[in-house]
Chains A and B, each alone.
Chain A
Amino acid sequence: MTRTVGSAVLALWCLSSVSAQAQDAAGAADGAQPSVAAPPPAVETAPPFVCDDWRAPGLLEGPAAIGYTTTDFGTARRACPRTELGLGANMGLVIDRPNFYGNIGAQGLVYGSYALSQRTEIFGTLAFIDYQQVIGALTQSSLALGDMTVGLNQGVYATKRLVGSVVGRVLLPTASNVPNSRTLGAEVGHAVSLRASSWLEAHAYAGAGLTLGLSPAPLPRPSLLGLIGVQVSPLSWLSLVLDVSGGMANRSFLAPTVALRFRVYSLGIELGATLPLLGTDRHFVIGGARFAYRF
């Protein structure tokens, strides 16, 4: 199953790249049309960076921010650097009646990013609340400070329509809800954004990571993620995201994700949900909400 999912993701990734390059080339050809070309300015300036070409600055972009692990770790990252500060919430629900197991997990997040340049961004997320409820023959819940991740997003290539970046992220052991252990992790990934038009963006992400415990039983676990998706923005205050992701984060999954994004001035809002259809992941649904102010 994992191999199948990985192959599918790789194929989608390749198609995405090829399509982006083709559209980029087409865009270049369009730009050669004398009838629409503006006269060159008197003083030569740099062409607009691809990431600047966006429907509205406050409208969130890139893959939906919903993942299968904690605090955005193992979650696809957008390619374009932004400066923003936000609040978010994630919630996952597992209902496994045959095994008498249920889990409600929710995190309250504060997150942000700072664009050091057009191509470079640092970012971080802190789960200031991590709520877990396990429901079986007995039931118990816990509320604690969750994990924290920090990372760096560095653009590595850009054309008029396409931008790609390398993403690095570490998971810091701030969570206090794991008895006798703390969790660490690190991951790298590659994010791609294809700006086909001002209302259509295609995006993709591939990442790999590792988490382990700060305890006598580190139990290192790899995480893999492949994602491809599109964002359609018919209005400057509304967009729809459709992603398909697959990989392994504790368990394997292949899942569609749907998100709606709104913009109120510079405040971007995202409401999304994902539903694993294939794989060993037991989530009934994972949902999330983000509210980010873009500077």
Chain B
Amino acid sequence: MTTNRLFVALGAVSLVALLLVSACTKSGCISGAADCRTEAPCQKVAFACSETALSVRQLDDQRQRVPGTNALGAVGDYELSNAYTRAVVAGLGHAHYLDPNGGGLTDLVAVDGGVDSLNQMLQIVGVLPSEAAHYTSIEPIEEPGLVGLQLKGTLDGRPDQPIYTRYELRPCDQGIRVRTEVLNGSPDPQLYTLADGFYWSKREPIPFTAEPGAGFRHPSFGLTTIDTVFAKFPFLAASTHNEEASSFSQVSCTDEYLQGFNSDTVSAGGLGRTVVPPRGWLFFERFIAVGAGRDIESANRIALSVREQVLGEKHVTLTGTVERAGALRLHGERETNVVLSLGSLSDPPEKRTPWSHVIPAADGRFSALVPVGKALVVEVHSFGVKQVEKDVAAASADADIGTLTLPSTGKVTISVKAQGSNAPLDAEIFVVPADEATKAATAGTFFGQFGTCAPWLGSPPGGSPACNRILVRSGTATVEVPVGRFHFYAFHGPFWSLSRQTVQVDPSMQALDFTLRSLNQLKPPGTLSADLHVHGAASFDSSIPDFDRVLSFAASDIDVIVSTDHDVVHDYAEIVRQLGLQAQLSTVTGVETTGHIPWLKVPGYIYPLVIGHYNFWPLKYDPALPLNGAPYDELVEPGELFDRAKPLFTASGVIELNHPWSPAEFGRDLGFPRAIFLDCTKDLPGSDDGSNNGVFVRSPKGGFHNHGHDAQEVINGSQADGLLPYRAFWFYMLNQGLLKTGTANSDSHSLVDSTIGMPRNVVWANTQAGPTFDVEVLNAAIKAGRVLGTNGPIITATIEGVPGSGNFGFSPLTPGPGSRVRVTVTAAPWVPVDEVRFVVNGQVVKTVGNLPVPADPFGEDGLQRYSGTVELSELLQSVTTDAWLVVEAGRTLLSASDLGGGLNNVKDGIPDTTDNNGDGVIDSADIAKGQSVGPLNNPPAPGPNDAAFHYAQITDNGYPYAYTNPFLFDRNGNGTFDAPGVKGGRP
């Protein structure tokens, strides 16, 4: 063979290769053709029906939004619908949560009575922000027998990695078909797990998968341990836990299993992790079934029909009946959950594979589709406790498993009235086991999710009863309670007495009558109570129904609520009217902006950050707009976000920094100063000097500075578990001369996680709740610092011997030689107050303890705990500069130290660790294993004989704390308050 022939041979090989390339079909969009269409998904799947209706449209009216508090559809979004299903895809630019530019599925409902409980489903190839689809075009598809949407884009920030998705609906589909293709056009091997990402975000639907030991239970993981929890499952289903009818189930149209991971925060279901070298591409076809039910089975039976068509899998229907003597109701998640698992009772639970979850009908009948020829275990859970389990033999045909009998419960009718007037009260009842046996017998959980409650009266994130809490409307409520001995506490806010009855609940009807006394003298004249941070079902991480949410406001006797749902504006006004509360309760529409997409880089730290959470109010509620009119909050620094929000305020607005030093959750920072490793041992620079503190002071767009908020939370939540760091950060800000109003909010997402109004802001504002309420006046008072933050104690404090009002707030006072502070501390008898503290420029300079304890915590006497005056000269003696004074009252604060926590774990001036080993010293031995600092533990839960026991039941083991906003002292007489600096004006 000559050399020439060899070269010819090589050339021929190359030519054949080129011919092979040209012969490749150009199907789908992977070729990048401008007019391409992704192949129709799930072509093996067909459903029969007589319906022909099909529609694809772009929403042009807010009234077209699907029902449900999680519905996000806005004008400009796309809807696919048939006679069974409505699916809404966010329009371009309508970014939500983890979706950077629209195209994610935001709403999915069954037409026949379903509501939307889907926060978001988006296409991803991994867990990083750059591994989500960023679509740049959406085109409607209308073809004979189908409608669809063609989406084209790239992975976010990766223009060389195109991604294409086709949503499709056919006339008989009870759910939506989806095909996604992604191409690695980069020069590097990539790791793709092409999947649907479901954003549950806790307190919402919990994923259910058929894996050994799984069902609703999934191993916990963090961002760095996701690999360890990757699993295979035949379907990924979810349903609501607030009695809304919404169930969905994702199933592959090509493969036997989905692969991914699951938690109560996020799930991913799709292809396995695949190394994709350059030019490789993947596709993923799936059907997402939706049913109008409250259990997994409602959607899963549709998904299983897909598996029958795709895989030839065979199923049979098992039926059965649940009965409970004297039951008020059987067909609710709190009363009856039937779970069918593959396996037998001889298998340990972790070896059984939960297959379906069913809530029976009103008559106790249930049915479920299960694999043919498989032995099963059926379990019935009631009030959070497994009550029945039995083996079911493998069935080759439809079968009935008979009647399953549950133990009876007690029926309790509760009445709450006001003493004197006998007027019925809206109230909240807390049910607490009165003995250990009852606690052990009634401790329940929803399959390990949402925590444990004793008794478990309902799903914690849902409506009343939830966990151990019951809302009483207009003075009455009737509930089922497991048998046992319980304390029943009736609560109507901190300005009312607390009442308790201890009863043995047995399987009969019982009546509990409570009378509460108004302690209105506790409420300082000219004030109103405001909770400036509450969530309801509109939030992606809350599912408490609006009705119960508003009722909980009334139950806590709050005057003003600011609705601050995550990333969406929501308005409770209509529910307030329906409940007849408009004369006593005013609601303000706002938002809590919530960063989801990490992006911000700060000096010395490799990982990108989000900017945490901020509240903005008042905003216009406009459901025609994306996010109901809230500002888009991703990929901007706080200052730019403030710039965006300012024109959206409908009156003088307030910007509040929430939980400023809260640790990140799932890689998402919750508080900006902590996120950027603010060093509170150093003064802030005048401008951005390239340091982390410089990030805090800079103005990203020339408008607001990043520290341009008006207020910050000092207490967040009923447990006040972040108090010590929030308080320290607030004191740091005051020392820097950054006068931010310290606020106290419940941040309640349900009846359980925090009690509304505990804590609250007592605001000295010349307006009142009801028709004449003026948010301008409220906001002006808040911005002026005329706020007392409290979860029980009430402090009235004035400076005597100074010109002017002598009130605390941000108007500087000029003290003279005889100036003194007069302080009175009062509290309801059930609120323990151990001491009064005087804090000057960040340090406690005087403590008054040994305060009297009321003899009867359920009485009305002993409200005043302290009254006295203290000379300012005594308080300010250690300070040479201008000064500020905060008066605190409540339980003695735990000692805590700053052991690190800053960048590279240097000390940052913020306490991070308590004496966790109890040796009297706070040192590295107190740091939890695997952590660099912490934890900060709250005081131990008080025992039944402790005076604080009753208070702890209302606040989930919180502890009383109240504080004034600062008095400012212009001691050098220059007419202004000069920042004392990080040392607080001390040597």
A interface residues with partner B (beta carbon < 8 Å): 94, 97-98, 100-101, 103, 105, 116, 119-120, 122, 132-142, 150-152, 154, 168-170, 172-173, 175, 177-181, 183-184, 186, 212-219, 221, 250-251, 282
- Number of inter-chain CB pairs below 8 Å: 141
Given contacts A105-B189, A282-B188, contact A140 B275 (CB under 8 A): yes
Interface centre among A119, A177, A219 (most CB of B within 10 A): A219
Dominant SS at the A interface?
strand
User: Which of A137, A178, A184 makes the CB contact (< 8 A) with B277?
Assistant: A178
Interface centre among B7, B185, B226, B278 (most CB of A within 10 A): B278
**B274→A132 contact, CB < 8 A:** no
**A136→B31 contact, CB < 8 A:** no
Q: How far is the CB of B275 from chain A (nearest CB, A)?
A: 4
Q: How far is the CB of A191 from chain B (nearest CB, A)?
A: 15
Q: How far is the CB of B901 from chain A (nearest CB, A)?
A: 23
**A103→B188 contact, CB < 8 A:** yes
Given contacts A152-B3, A172-B13, A179-B281, contact A217 B30 (CB under 8 A): yes
* Closest residue of B by beta carbon distance from A133: B275
Q: How far is the CB of A257 from chain B (nearest CB, A)?
A: 20
Q: Tell me if B394 is interfacial: C-beta within 8 Å of chain A.
A: no
In this complex, the interface size class of chain B, counting residues with CB under 8 Å from chain A, is 35 or more
| 10 more CB-based (< 8 A) A-B contacts, given A184-B18, A186-B13 | A140-B274, A151-B10, A152-B6, A152-B10, A154-B6, A169-B10, A214-B17, A216-B27, A217-B279, A219-B278
Given contacts A122-B6, A138-B227, A214-B24, contact A250 B278 (CB under 8 A): yes
Given contacts A215-B30, A216-B27, contact A137 B282 (CB under 8 A): no
Q: Tell me if B681 is interfacial: C-beta within 8 Å of chain A.
A: no
* Closest residue of B by beta carbon distance from A177: B277
Query: Could you mark each residue 1-30 of chain B with 1 if its beta carbon is under 8 Å from any beta carbon of chain A, else 0?
Result: 101001100100110011011001111101
Q: Tell me if B397 is interfacial: C-beta within 8 Å of chain A.
A: no
The docked-state distance in angstroms from the alpha carbon of A135 to that of B273 is: 11
In the bound complex, residues from chain A placing their C-beta under 8 Å from that of B230 are 138
User: Which of B26, B27, B131, B185 makes the CB contact (< 8 A) with A219?
Assistant: B185
| Nearest 3 interchain pairs by C-beta | A250-B187, A213-B279, A134-B191
* Closest residue of A by beta carbon distance from B128: A137
Q: Tell me if B190 is interfacial: C-beta within 8 Å of chain A.
A: yes
**A250→B188 contact, CB < 8 A:** yes
**B227→A181 contact, CB < 8 A:** no
In the bound complex, residues from chain A placing their C-beta under 8 Å from that of B728 are none
Q: How far is the CB of B221 from chain A (nearest CB, A)?
A: 11
The docked-state distance in angstroms from the alpha carbon of A267 to that of B26 is: 49
The docked-state distance in angstroms from the alpha carbon of A25 to that of B560 is: 99
* Closest residue of B by beta carbon distance from A180: B281
The docked-state distance in angstroms from the alpha carbon of A138 to that of B3 is: 50
**A214→B20 contact, CB < 8 A:** yes
Q: Tell me if B223 is interfacial: C-beta within 8 Å of chain A.
A: yes
**A154→B7 contact, CB < 8 A:** yes
**A132→B189 contact, CB < 8 A:** yes
Interface centre among B17, B30, B277, B606 (most CB of A within 10 A): B277
The docked-state distance in angstroms from the alpha carbon of A173 to that of B16 is: 12
Interface residues of B in 176-235 (CB under 8 A from A): 183, 185, 187-191, 193, 223-224, 226-227, 230
12 contacts between A and B (CB under 8 A): A120-B6, A132-B189, A136-B126, A138-B227, A140-B191, A154-B6, A168-B7, A168-B10, A179-B274, A180-B280, A180-B281, A215-B24
* Closest residue of A by beta carbon distance from B283: A180
In the bound complex, residues from chain A placing their C-beta under 8 Å from that of B128 are 100, 136-137
* Closest residue of A by beta carbon distance from B5: A152
**A217→B281 contact, CB < 8 A:** yes
In the bound complex, residues from chain A placing their C-beta under 8 Å from that of B277 are 132, 175, 177-178
**B227→A184 contact, CB < 8 A:** no
* Closest residue of B by beta carbon distance from A218: B21
**B188→A217 contact, CB < 8 A:** no
* Closest residue of B by beta carbon distance from A171: B17
**A138→B191 contact, CB < 8 A:** yes
Q: Tell me if B921 is interfacial: C-beta within 8 Å of chain A.
A: no
